[in-house]
Amino acid sequence: DIQMTQSPSSLSASVGDRVTITCRASQGISNYLAWYQQKPGKVPKLLIYGASTLQSGVPSRFSGTESGTDFTLTISSLQPEDVATYYCQKYNSAPRTFGQGTKVEIK
């Protein structure tokens, strides 16, 4: 099975900082990669699919890129409401594996 490895597992940044989270697939998955945001105590929410397509209603400070088997979620200017754990997920085939998550906090 294809493994999804996220890094870092956690990070602390200041409001306004640019934040980058990486997800690496152990094999090629084309662009079948989604990102989810889970705020503390809340249900996960879809942010990005197709590696770079923003889900409707998601702020434009979120963006996604793809380079081979490496995928990146970027928050261009971190806001207090972005405190959450972020997960990548591959969906080219079953199993629809999630990364282990990246916890983002405000410094």
Partner 1 sequence: EVQLVECGGGLVQPGRSLRLSCTASGFTFGDFAMSWVRQAPGKGLEWVGFIRSKAYGGTTEYAASVKGRFTISRDDSESIAYLQMNSLKTEDTAVYYCTRDTYGGIFDHWGQGTLVTVSS
Which residues lie near partner 1 (CB under 8 A)? 1, 32, 34, 36, 38, 43-46, 49, 55, 85, 87, 89, 91-92, 94-101
DSSP 15-28: TT--EEEEEEESS-
Distance CA 64, CA 57 (A): 15
Residue at token pair 């640019």: 18
> Shortest gap between Cβ of 25 and partner 1 (angstroms)?
14
| Number of DSSP helices (H) and strands (E) in the chain, helices first | 0, 10
Sign of the Cα pseudo-torsion (33, 2, 19, 40, in order): positive
Q: Which is nearer to partner 1, 20 or 91 (CB)?
A: 91
Minimum CB–partner distance for residue 70 and partner 1 (Å): 20
* Identity of the residue, 17 or 98, whose beta carbon is nearer to partner 1 in the bound complex: 98
Q: Which C-beta is closer to partner 1: that of 76 or that of 97?
A: 97
Q: How far is the CB of 41 from partner 1 (least distance, A)?
A: 11
Task: Assign residue 81 a region (left: φ > 0; alpha: ψ between -120 and 50; beta: otherwise).
Answer: alpha
Compare residues 8 and 77 and give the one whose CB is closer to partner 1.
8
